[in-house]
A and B are shown apart, each in its own frame.
Chain A
Amino acid sequence: MFAGAEKLSRNAERVNALNVFPVPDGDTGTNMNLTMSAGVAELTNKPSDEVGRAAEVLSKGLLMGARGNSGVILSQLFRGFSRAVAGSKDLNVPMFAGALQQGVDTAYKAVVKPVEGTILTVAREAARHGLLASRRTQDIVEWLGEVHAKALETLARTQEMLPVLKQVGVVDSGGQGLVYIYEGFLDYLHTGDSATPAVTPAASATPTPAAKPAVSPVPAHASAQSKIATESIAFPYDMEFFIHRLPASTPFHERAFRQTLERDGDSIILIEDDNIVKVHVHSRRPGDVLNAALTYGEITHIHILNMQEQHRDLLQPKAEQPTGMPAVAAGATYAEAASAVAAAPAFDPKVDYSLPGVVNLPSIAASPETEPNPDVHEMAEYGVVVVSVGEGNAELFRSLGVDIVLSGGQSMNPSTEDLLGAIQSLTAQHIYVLPNNPNIIMAAKQAAELAERPVTVLPTRTIPQGLAAMLAFQENDNDAANTARMTKAAERVVTGQVTQAVRDTNMDGIEIKDGHYIGIKDKTIVASTPSLEATCRTLSAELLDTDSDMITVLTGEGADPDTTERLSEWLAQQYPDVEVEVHEGGQPLYPYLFAVEK
């Protein structure tokens, strides 16, 4: 299991690169990896020698950590898997095969409209083949080899199943992520190495799993852990915190700070935003790290864990974990996950990320992001949670009566747990969730199922759709009427989005160059030019028709007042009957969002 996560995490960037749309949200790898890390972290916290227990723990971690659609599907695959092996101590080939199949069944049920040529297809074909192969062989290595081979073969065929993949010439990114996980299992069974580089295997007291007739991949990890001497953890203090830059403090020099940390530490991750630096390090001298950090500003969200202590606890399986450790503090495995996060393009330093985006790392969950409206906490009839990005957009949502605005969107999908946390913090009788992004809808639905109160997820795909749905919301009406009204309102909105292409490609019959602006009408690219203004004009012309009477413009980062002004004038001139309303949205990556109601 750990090996699977490790393989995925090392290849997260490659999975990201497979995302088809040339917009800067290629984060399937990141999402799957964060999902997997959450599962593995949970397992590290509550290890078990029984495969049924371990699978249950893993499944719960995955469920809560699920981000993005691929992450949610992954969590459902393991949910089915864990149900199939519930109560079992060990795992043999027929059980493994049956569990894979049950995972697929569960995932298919969770997805409203399963699309072939995705992670689902890969999982299904692999599981089906697994059942066949389990009649021929009882050797787990041979069997898993066949499963993996089938998955790989199916992955290659995803190109034929989804035209969009063929057009761009890639395989499905989620499917690729799953293949990496199988590959990790297989590598482990071959070598017995779960590849956790922060620690080194000391002795091989246990036989290699491959030698056993039937092997459970999960308990295998526990024995891998036990091979490690506690003392071999060189930098025992796992530290994580934020530096908030103050005007008076020393200018931040990443290289200098990194060198300071390297003197007594490793697994260093520094993520810098305008005013905040997120720091992760394994150190021998935590005091020195904090003192060095203090020269750059105020330190917040400090988490320090002694990994030696944690490891000693791991070696005493009878002793219960004293307290629920935060899922982040999973020692070496987390370090791997975290470095993969840092490597993923979601944190490309060239891109100007909004502050919430950076804070919303897996470790801190949603707490700093939730902004409950203090006025609306007396057992209201309705509560509304939306996912949005940009302070201006958040204000617009609040002005429409939204209780909690969770930060997230392109490149930063909140997990099921983040969404569930927001839902649970509201004391309303019925809660609406508006994901405002296609890749957050499934995680929202998963959170809705886990919530104690009735939750309706409206599958809004864009911020303009979310705003239209909120406009239609009537607090005095019943939930069935509201759901119908809001859904209809969201469907009546045509969304326009302007962003910069992140690679050369050809889509929807339009030649796209890396760095050029692209205009997207709903899901289709309708314009691509080197000029922001020209792209906006072409896109607006596509959005507006003779019946249109209003266009709303939400400006984001990268929009300048002059361009906005000229665009408004142009719109007023070209479409005298159309009212133009401009609001500062503040979203990153998308200089302009447009909304036209049909």
Chain B
Amino acid sequence: MATVAIVTDSTADIPLAVREELDIAMVPLKVIIGGETYLDNIELTPAQFYQKLTRSNDLAKSSQPSPSDFFETFKKLTEQGKSVVCISLSSVLSGTYQSALIAKSMLDDDADVTVIDSRSASYGYGLLVVAAAKLAREGADKTRIIEEVKRMRASMKLYFLVDTLEYLQKGGRIGKASALIGTLLNIKPILSIDDEGYVYSFEKARGQKRAFGRIAELLEEDFKGDPIELIIAKTPGFEDGLAELSGLLKSRLNIIQYTETEIGPVIGAHAGPGTLGLFATRA
């Protein structure tokens, strides 16, 4: 029985099966679309969400979990005598981290909770959460888990391809000037998340084909033939392109573990349909 419990929020985009297998507690954000509020990745699956998104004229919105949502989870786990390590969505993109911190302050002084700002989004920290949960299952202590999470956070490479910067711009998640880009020249922006957790436009590629080629090139430069674990998170509508991209990456990179997953409603609401996320780390 693990002495460390791993908590995260819903935007880590970890599939339900993995969460159950590794005993990861998840506090959902909320997604608001068509006047209705749903619990992210619980009441609304990615497939249902994108269906609603394409039908709705409004942009989808999201809201962070309340401190009390975290409080309940933390309380339950600490009362079982566990140390809690909570890894949250980037604090510059969402108030989720703040809610978790407030929840911690509401607990008794002897409750052992560590809240880590992942400074990342989607599987960019989902990967960290999964690694932490595996260590916890193996019986690693809190200090070792936190060290490992920080080490992985520093060495991980992540790239996003979005269809348009419109969603990120309207949601205020990227600078205004960047949003101008790509409107005329069929540009596919390649985005990343910087060390502070901000989304930024990393490069502009003309057309999807060139964008794929460029991503393969970037990952080659990043890992230089080392064995890697690669996760691709997709939104619906990218199936054809996905086969092309994964084929290209497998032929050029030394991938020893490859996983496909889905980008959930909250991240999807802010990045827009047609978004693809690539997360890689040394295996």
A549 & B177 in contact (Cβ 8 Å cutoff)? no
Tell me, in angstroms, the Cα distance from A380 to B185 when the chains sit together. Answer: 24
Which secondary structure dominates where chain A touches chain B? mixed
CB-CB nearest in chain A for B192: A476
A395 & B207 in contact (Cβ 8 Å cutoff)? no
Question: B17 an interface residue at 8 Å Cβ cutoff?
Answer: no
Chain A residues with CB below 8 A from B61, complex form: none
B207 & A583 in contact (Cβ 8 Å cutoff)? no
Mask for A389-401, Cβ within 8 A of B = 1, else 0? Answer: 0000001101111
Question: B235 an interface residue at 8 Å Cβ cutoff?
Answer: no
B184 & A475 in contact (Cβ 8 Å cutoff)? no
Tell me, in angstroms, the Cα distance from A398 to B210 when the chains sit together. Answer: 22
Question: B176 an interface residue at 8 Å Cβ cutoff?
Answer: yes
Chain B residues with CB below 8 A from A398, complex form: 180
B204 & A399 in contact (Cβ 8 Å cutoff)? no
B206 & A401 in contact (Cβ 8 Å cutoff)? no
Chain A residues with CB below 8 A from B203, complex form: 472, 474
B185 & A579 in contact (Cβ 8 Å cutoff)? no
List CB contacts (< 8 Å) of B158-187 with chain A: 175-178, 180-187
In the complex where A474-B202, A476-B200, A550-B207 touch, is A396 in contact with B177 (Cβ < 8 A)? Answer: no
In the complex, what's the smallest C-beta–C-beta distance from A294 to chain B, in angstroms? 40
Question: B222 an interface residue at 8 Å Cβ cutoff?
Answer: no
CB-contact partner of A471 in B175, B178, B206, under 8 A? B206
A475 & B206 in contact (Cβ 8 Å cutoff)? no
In the complex where A549-B210, A550-B206 touch, is A583 in contact with B184 (Cβ < 8 A)? Answer: yes
Question: B52 an interface residue at 8 Å Cβ cutoff?
Answer: no
Tell me, in angstroms, the Cα distance from A401 to B165 when the chains sit together. Answer: 14
CB-contact partner of B209 in A376, A400, A549, A552, under 8 A? A549
Mask for B185-223, Cβ within 8 A of A = 1, else 0? Answer: 111000000100000111110110110000000000000
In the complex where A399-B184, A581-B186 touch, is A471 in contact with B204 (Cβ < 8 A)? Answer: yes
In the complex, what's the smallest C-beta–C-beta distance from B180 to chain A, in angstroms? 6
Chain A residues with CB below 8 A from B183, complex form: 399
A581 & B185 in contact (Cβ 8 Å cutoff)? yes
In the complex where A471-B187, A474-B202 touch, is A399 in contact with B177 (Cβ < 8 A)? Answer: no
Question: A562 an interface residue at 8 Å Cβ cutoff?
Answer: no
Chain B residues with CB below 8 A from A467, complex form: 185
List CB contacts (< 8 Å) of A386-426 with chain B: 395-396, 398-401
Question: A274 an interface residue at 8 Å Cβ cutoff?
Answer: no
B209 & A579 in contact (Cβ 8 Å cutoff)? yes
In the complex, what's the smallest C-beta–C-beta distance from B206 to chain A, in angstroms? 6
Chain B residues with CB below 8 A from A472, complex form: 203-204
Chain B residues with CB below 8 A from A452, complex form: none
Mask for A494-528, Cβ within 8 A of B = 1, else 0? Answer: 00000000000000000000000000000000000
B210 & A401 in contact (Cβ 8 Å cutoff)? no
In the complex, what's the smallest C-beta–C-beta distance from A434 to chain B, in angstroms? 16
Tell me, in angstroms, the Cα distance from A311 to B202 when the chains sit together. Answer: 61
Chain A residues with CB below 8 A from B187, complex form: 471
B180 & A399 in contact (Cβ 8 Å cutoff)? yes
Chain A residues with CB below 8 A from B180, complex form: 398-401
Chain A residues with CB below 8 A from B184, complex form: 395-396, 399, 583
Tell me, in angstroms, the Cα distance from A471 to B207 when the chains sit together. Answer: 12
Interchain residue pairs with CB less than 8 A apart (7): A401-B181, A471-B185, A474-B202, A474-B203, A475-B177, A476-B194, A579-B207
- 9 tightest Cβ-Cβ pairs between the two chains A and B: A399-B184, A476-B200, A399-B183, A471-B204, A401-B177, A401-B180, A396-B184, A475-B177, A579-B207
Given contacts A474-B200, A476-B194, A579-B207, 18 further A-B contacts (CB under 8 A): A399-B180, A399-B181, A399-B183, A399-B184, A399-B185, A401-B180, A471-B187, A471-B204, A471-B206, A472-B203, A474-B202, A474-B203, A475-B175, A549-B210, A550-B206, A550-B210, A579-B209, A581-B185
